[in-house]
Amino acid sequence: MTETPRHSQQPPSGIKYWPTRLFFFFLKGLTRLPYSWLLGLGRAIGILMYHLANSRTRIARVNIKKCFPQMNEAAQEALVRKNLISTSIGMIETAILWFGPKRNWEDRFEINGLEHLENALNEGKGALLLAFHLTSLEIGGSLLSTKCYLGALYRRNENPLIEHVMVKGRSQYVHSIPREQTREMVKWLRNNGVVWYAADQDYGRKQSVFVPFFNIPTATITATTRFTKLSKAPVIPMTQTRIDGGKRIRIDIHSPFESMGQDEQQDAIKINQFLEKYLETHPEDYLWVHRRFKTRPSESDLSFYPTKKKNRPVTPERLKNILNVATDIKTENDRVTELKVDDSIVKFIYHSNFIDRKAKINRLLKTFDKISDNGQEYYYQGRIRRCDSLKATLVYYEK
């Protein structure tokens, strides 16, 4: 690859980054503790999250209630608690990988089914290693990379310091490929490489089809079909499970999916059925704190989740990142008035004070309750972000 690795660039500097830097410095020291201590710390933090992280706990509670209606209320709540603990352990594992000293991982994991990857590489077509957002995702893929070097598709972080640290941490194990750089990913596959990526998050209607997941119509991305058509690489699912009380990781490379790349709907069904079958046995392992069912089949359908109380302000760095990844930008008098990013159209409202801000936003929403673009409908769903550096507010219209 000819692109300069982002982790080789200088991280952003400035006083405003000091708290984040201090937190990362703390993690670097913390991860020198014995592994068993860190696992215990992860469990303790998970219990605190269960009691204190109300927003994420509510999301996990909604997801588990929807997906496991056969459980009684007590069993569902016990599963929520176990899931928050598993999620927290996953966070500690990530910190160990990114910030901790080099460890001997050979005694910490086992791999089953590695021959499926070897067979694919022997055929010279590369392999699309299909992962899922299990709470042990990061450590599973990183440990597998000690046996087979991976290209890893990921979503950029808007905070440049976190982006820098994330890519630098992962670069010890994988080659990071931003998800919008499809050509680089396909090139990696065509060069008989392995790309590790997950296909189980909600990226909106444009990139998805609705197929069942635990009997719930769920927006499931169609990128797997597209990547398979472009690269001709086999799709090989993988899972990872904590064993021996969390002290070790079992990585399972499963048989390649058959007949992939021909039908988006059927491919999405196959992926969801595979994940569902795994979670029937290991329900606490999934990232239930994620809004998996955020996009509903109809815009008029009520959301499963509580309305977000806060929208993060847009810092100058986040604004720069948004502008960099925008696919279309409109300006007037040298000021951005509208842009497209991900699955959203964003209106920029400039104002002089709080009263002016409220009036202009209300006027916009009365005028545009939805926006049409190339036959697609975008709706205002409550997402507004303040950008103090521009004296503007960003109003999001989403599919």
Q: With cut-offs at 50, 70 and 90, classify the pLDDT of residue 309.
A: low
Within-domain flag for 45: yes
* pLDDT for position 387: 92
Within-domain flag for 122: yes
Residues 169 and 249 in one domain: yes
Residues 104 and 183 in one domain: yes
> What's the pLDDT tens digit per position in 128-148?
999 999 999 999 999 999 998
Is the Cβ–Cβ distance between 395 and 364 less than 8 Å? yes
- Angstrom distances, CA of residue 41 to CA of 112, 133, 164: 29, 22, 26
> What's the pLDDT tens digit per position in 36-74?
999 999 999 999 999 888 888 989 999 999 999 999 999
Question: What average pLDDT does this structure show over 12-25?
Answer: 87
Residues 79 and 149 in one domain: yes
- Count Cβ atoms below 10 Å from residue 12 Cβ, excluding itself: 15
* pLDDT for position 308: 62
Within-domain flag for 135: yes
* pLDDT for position 2: 36
Within-domain flag for 51: yes
- Checking if the pLDDT of 3 tops 60, the result is no
Residues 249 and 358 in one domain: no
Residues 51 and 200 in one domain: yes
Residues 265 and 354 in one domain: no
Question: What average pLDDT does this structure show over 142-167?
Answer: 89
Within-domain flag for 291: no
Q: At 2, list the tokens.
A: 């000819």
Average pLDDT, the chain: 90
> What's the pLDDT tens digit per position in 333-369?
999 999 998 778 999 999 998 888 888 988 888 888 7
* Structural domain count, the chain: 2
CA gap 380, 196 in Å, rounded: 34
Q: How much of the chain exceeds pLDDT 70, in percent?
A: 96
Q: With cut-offs at 50, 70 and 90, classify the pLDDT of residue 5.
A: very low
**Which of 163-167, 244-248, 277-281, 373-377 bottoms out in mean pLDDT, i.e. has the lowest?**
373-377
Within-domain flag for 297: no
* pLDDT for position 10: 76
> What's the pLDDT tens digit per position in 67-114?
999 999 999 999 999 999 999 999 999 999 999 998 888 889 999 999
Q: Choose among 196, 191, 190: nearest CA to 174.
A: 196
Q: Choose among 287, 293, 323: nearest CA to 87.
A: 287
Within-domain flag for 304: no
Q: Any idea what the Cα angle at residue 169 is, between residues 293 and 36, rounded to 5°?
A: 85
> What's the pLDDT tens digit per position in 172-206?
999 999 888 888 998 999 999 999 999 998 988 88
What range does the domain containing 225 cover? 16-285
Question: Any idea which residue has 């290209």 for tokens?
Answer: 151
CA gap 92, 53 in Å, rounded: 17
Residues 166 and 109 in one domain: yes
Residues 158 and 265 in one domain: yes
CA gap 296, 275 in Å, rounded: 20
Residues in the chain: 399
Q: At 272, list the tokens.
A: 């969801």
Residues 333 and 217 in one domain: no
Within-domain flag for 307: no
Contacts of 22 (CB under 8 A, 6+ apart): none
Query: Following CA atoms 215, 217, 221, 226 in sequence, which dihedral angle do they give, to the nearest 10 degrees?
Result: 90
- Checking if the pLDDT of 1 tops 70, the result is no
- Checking if the pLDDT of 8 tops 60, the result is no
- Checking if the pLDDT of 4 tops 60, the result is no
CA gap 237, 197 in Å, rounded: 10
- Checking if the pLDDT of 290 tops 50, the result is yes
Residues 327 and 270 in one domain: no
CA gap 340, 350 in Å, rounded: 18
Please say which residue of 240, 266, 285 terminates a domain. Answer: 285
Q: With cut-offs at 50, 70 and 90, classify the pLDDT of residue 310.
A: low
Secondary structure string (H, E, C) spanning the chain:
CCCCCHHHCCCCCCHHHHHHHHHHHHHHHHCCCCHHHHHHHHHHHHHHHHHHCHHHHHHHHHHHHHHCCCCCHHHHHHHHHHHHHHHHHHHHHHHHHHHCCCCCCHHHEEEECHHHHHHHHHCCCCEEEEECCECCHHHHHHHHCCCCCEEEEECCCCCHHHHHHHHHHHCCCEEEEECCCHHHHHHHHHCCCEEEEECCCCCCCCCEEEEEECCEEEEEECHHHHHHHHHCCCEEEEEEEEECCCCEEEEEECCCCCCCCCCHHHHHHHHHHHHHHHHHHCHHHECCCCCCCCCCCCCCCCCCCCCCCCCCCCCHHHHHHHHHHCCEEEEECCEEEEEEECCEEEEEEECCCHHHHHHHHHHHHHHCCEEEECCEEEEEEEEEEEEHHHCEEEEEEEC
Dmax of the chain from CA atoms? 66
* pLDDT for position 307: 67
Residues 64 and 124 in one domain: yes
Residues 328 and 280 in one domain: no
